[in-house]
Structure 1
């Protein structure tokens, strides 16, 4: 039973009363899937039809392999620029669309293989490599990059610029050269305004669908094509064949680098969305199963002229609000797209290109988290600057280097906290049990001759010297010190470098006539100390089960009582 695909298990337990709700939700969902699929395909530098192929295949694959009953997969605004940044540099000057599709399909297969292998190896934790502050900064940078990149299309012209600064310069130059199409600006601006107003004032109405219908109507009635406004044109009829993409060996390296970044962002997005919606529906998140499902969906898309996909919070929310109960919702949405491609391929032929730009721009606005950035500034300045650094990484270096910057900053932040952890002296606070930070409690009393020192991190090669210097500093600050007691409960590890430095510290303290003792040291850490041979000098009397026991032993040996904080 455990090896049965999740979709099959759902089908076996399917309830008849769910059917109507799933079908209705699928119909509603399809109205969003079509324009978004085409818009995000163009964002990735691909023909609009590939967005529909991708939507169909990933929905069907996730319906079989996906553990969540409500998540909706498909082309995503956060992945589009990463796909373009990977594929476009590999194209020849003529920008052959067939080669672009082959490269994007191979990219999807690579992303699928990476996530499948990671899921089988139970590496779901890799989604945690990007911290929340750096993810906020990355998404803010991505939102700005997408917005600037869509402005030429919104104004009715195109540019060949690369990078945020280059795109800004090319856009300004295009406007200055008089390449703006007034009708395109009017249509695009009106579409953006309509989507934003409907989303705010009438959130239950499918804003994108209303915009698309009105945009097509205006395009036909006013004959916008004759006024210089480009339209989508007639889509190819039917479905794509099973295709193994053919690319050159020299393309594999750049594609693999891009696939790693896309897989990481896709997994982080999927796990966060799965967690959010699972909490609302009472389901349990299974990160490794989600990775396998995402990998399966990407593999399916890659074999039918598609490109990498992720989950979408907005599409999932639409399906949930429409009453979706299971992944049959996605199957219905995919079936309706197929029917449109087979029976009505010209349905969206008069859709203005600025309307697709409006879909992408409004999606980019939802990626930005300015409120979260302001909260970081108020709550923790260091994490605010991490967010700013990640933002600048995307804006100045590009989308793919930006994700590397975000991951690097997250890892460096973890290392920084372990490298320079918080440390303090503990004292006794009148009327409060235990021993507490003297920085937070001015009334805390100190026992004459005893320093109770707490170091809030594992001891390892990077921070062991800082630990030694802090202990010696506190010892020298009070010449009457006879004992340093390490409140070792936060010390979860001691490596060999730290063990050697502990031995050096003990020798230095003995020269000063000061003994070094430990309290609340965890058994696994003490066993390591024994294995390192430190028990030659650190005998059993140096270790106490609690800080209280160690303090009482010191008082008994030295006949002292509590004093006041110096």
Structure 2
């Protein structure tokens, strides 16, 4: 039971001296959870109250099933556009909030089911499907998408897309008071984050924005306000959606689950490293999955880990998930007792919260560093960025994953290879392109191929061996230690290559084959093609055998 329910084990091992710190951290965290929850709900195309429902349930679900002691889950800026891209095309014309909530809740249930199923199947490694360069490009593109989508709310008008936004700005539809509130809100958050990072910048901005509504009568100047939130806690609800919508929702859920997992694993690893703890990918998947299911059953939407909220909890002294439980309890009290607390909060202030969160997603220095360090990975990053910006959020994540996989495939298809020689003063054998003075035995070629042999690169390997054979060597010794596998397609090509070389009096020899690979070669029958004297445990053994056979020095 403790392994399945980390929260139960935490209760058993809880120490009284942690209580005050957890409670204080929970209070501080709540000041961030409420405005961000409402802002990210609107980013996802949902009513602000759903962001609070989501925050409550995901915090409670992860507190029981999540393995990390301080990780904070909740509505996230990186998932908002993905949720909107999935559900808004399915919402009836005119926008039905009840239908949008039902679709978002079902999306959360599907994300949770995918996460839990993947955890049971021990598929935690899928978080590695997105490489850092493509993830950087994806997040940069996502930030641009968020910025473009939030400009109308920030400036006080309505627009369906970016060209319409530009036309509205050119036509003078900007509401000056809205623009002033939104731009000032962005400035307050950025300045405080930069110069006074310990002060809760979002809370300060929200308080100032509400105060401005009273002082300047912003509602009379065309500024939209959040208004009174629904009172009370939502009942347990199984969302009702049509069967025809499930395919679209499932496709979106897969992308959301992948991004959420990658974000959670990276965030959990960063904070666990500080505490000297380990991250268990499959347990994290279970915790996130349960959090999403809990959210979906109470009119919520998909959630992920938040690095910024987790950092706030850590800096405030959080010791355990009780911090999140305190935050959830305080949000419940707010919506039950004082639902009108944020009724005078300007909508542009929520847009300012989202935009500053989007800015934190960008990594311009990292992109510049890729340009300087490795142009191919820079191009992958830019391709992912353009995929999101031009084709949309969901196609963008598919492009990011596809590019990552293709990049791995490219490296395996055209791996590094080298001819080796002996270098005075160095042990072993080394690349002659790096050490031109390396000595080689006459008639012997030592060749290393840095990849497993499989259907995609076996012909490349064959062509390089044939190129080396033009020198008419007596032996070609393959330093096979990097070869972690040989598939059946490669085995057939190796058999043809061995026979072809033998006809030209060149012997193909293998050294340092790993035991599993050697067993596969034996199973394929290749040892009968090359002969038992063509496989050696080390390169030195192969060289000594060549010397004994030819007398070369």
Are 2:47 and 1:47 aligned?
yes
Q: Where do residues 214-363 of structure 1 align in structure 2 (5 Å cutoff)? A: 214-363=208-357
Q: How far off is 1:283 after superposition?
A: 2.0
Q: In the alignment, which residue of structure 2 is the partner of 1:84?
A: 84
Superposed counterparts of 1:92-107, under 5 Å:
92-107=92-107
Pair 1:138 & 2:138 matched: yes
User: Are the counterparts in 1 of residues 206 and 345 from structure 2 also a CA contact under 8 Å?
Assistant: yes
What is the CA-CA distance between 1:560 and the residue it aligns to? 1.6
Q: Cα distance 1:132–1:4, how it changes in 2: closer, same or farther (>3 A)?
A: closer
* Equivalent residues in 2 for 1:9-24, closer than 5 Å: 9-24=9-24
Q: 2:169 aligns with which of 160, 164, 175?
A: 175
The whole-number CA distance in structure 2 between the counterparts of 1:425 and 1:274 is: 43
Q: How many Å separate the matches in 2 of 1:514 and 1:273?
A: 54
Give 1:145-156 correspondences, 5 Å limit: 145-156=145-156
Question: Per the alignment, do residues 4 and 419 of structure 1 end up closer, same or farther by CA in structure 2, a change over 3 Å counting?
Answer: closer
1:505 to 489, 493, 497: 497
SS in 1 for 2:52: helix
Distance in 1 (CA, whole Å) between partners of 2:407 and 2:322 is 43
Mapped to 2, the partners of 1:230 and 1:95 lie a distance apart of 18
Deviation at 1:109, TM superposition (A): 0.5
Counterpart position of 1:468: 462
- Whole-Å separation in 2 of the counterparts to 1:4 and 1:76: 26
Tell me which of 495, 503, 507 is aligned to 1:515. Answer: 507
- Cα offset, 1:375, TM superposition: 1.6
Of 205-214 and 373-382, deviating more is 373-382
Gapped runs of 5+ residues in structure 1? 162-166, 562-566
2:533 equivalent to 1:538: no
User: Equivalents in 1 of 2:232, 2:415: separation in Å?
Assistant: 61
Structure 2 CA distance for aligned equivalents of residues 214 and 312 of structure 1: 25
Corresponding residue for residue 387 of structure 1: 381
Indicate if the aligned counterparts of 2:2 and 2:8 stay in contact, CA closer than 8 A. Answer: no
Alignment of 1:388-407 (within 5 A): 388-407=382-401
Report the Cα distance in structure 2 between the residues aligned to 1:109 and 1:492, rounded to whole angstroms. Answer: 40
Q: Is the 8 A contact 2:35 2:350 kept in 1?
A: yes
Secondary structure of the equivalent of 2:419? strand
Offset at residue 175 of structure 1 (A) = 0.9
Residue 369 of structure 2 corresponds to 375
Aligned pair in 2 of structure 1 residues 4, 448: CA closer, same or farther (>3 Å)?
A: closer
C-alpha displacement of 1:535: 2.1
CA–CA separation in structure 2 for the residues paired with 1:63 and 1:531: 51
The 2-side partners of 1:404 and 1:537 are apart by 44
Compute the displacement of 1:2 (Å).
4.0
Q: CA RMSD in A?
A: 0.9
User: In the alignment, is residue 128 of structure 1 matched against residue 120 of structure 2?
Assistant: no
Deviation of 1:536 after TM superposition, in Å, equals 2.0
Q: Give the Å deviation of 1:170.
A: 1.1
1:191 lines up with 2:185 in the alignment: yes
> For residues 342 and 191 of structure 1, do their structure 2 counterparts lie closer, same or farther at Cα, with a shift above 3 Å needed?
same
Deviations, residues 252-291 of structure 1 (Å, cap 9, x unaligned): 1100000000011011111111111111112221111111
User: In the aligned structure 2, how far is the partner of 1:323 from the partner of 1:540?
Assistant: 66
* Aligned mates of 2:28, 2:78 — CA distance in 1: 23
CA distance in 2, matches of 1:497, 1:305: 52
TM-score under structure 1 normalisation? 0.97
Shift in CA distance, 148/14, structure 1 to aligned 2, threshold 3 Å: same
How far the C-alpha of 1:152 sits from its partner, in A, is 0.9
Residues 47 and 56 of structure 1, relative CA distance in 2, 3 Å threshold: same
Alpha-carbon deviation of 1:492? 1.0
In structure 2, C-alpha distance between the alignment counterparts of 1:306 and 1:266, rounded to whole Å: 16
Task: State the 1:208 CA deviation.
Answer: 0.2
Find the partner of 1:453 among 433, 444, 447: 447
Query: Could you say which residue in structure 1 is the equivalent of 2:67?
Result: 67
Aligned partners of 1:187, 1:3: CA distance in 2, in Å?
49
Find the residue that maps to 2:446 and give its secondary structure.
strand
Deviation at 1:4, TM superposition (A): 5.2
Match of 1:408 among 385, 388, 402: 402
Classify 1:107/1:4 alpha carbon distance in 2 versus 1 (closer, same or farther; 3 Å). closer
Is the partner of 1:484 in helix, strand or coil? strand
**3-state SS of paired residue (2:16):** coil
Matching residue within 505, 516, 521 for 1:524:
516
Q: Pick from 476, 480, 483: which aligns with 1:488?
A: 480
Moved more, 37-46 or 486-495: 486-495
Q: Which consecutive residues of structure 2, in runs of 5 or more, have no partner in the other structure? A: none
| Offset at residue 382 of structure 1 (A) | 1.1
Shift of 1:19: 0.5
Count matched residues: 553
Give the match's secondary structure for 2:22. Answer: helix
* Deviation of the 1:497 alpha carbon: 1.1
Match of 1:559 in 2: 551
* Per-residue Cα deviation, 1:505-525 (whole angstroms, up to 9, x for no partner): 112212221111111111111
Is contact 2:2–2:9 with CA below 8 Å preserved after alignment? no
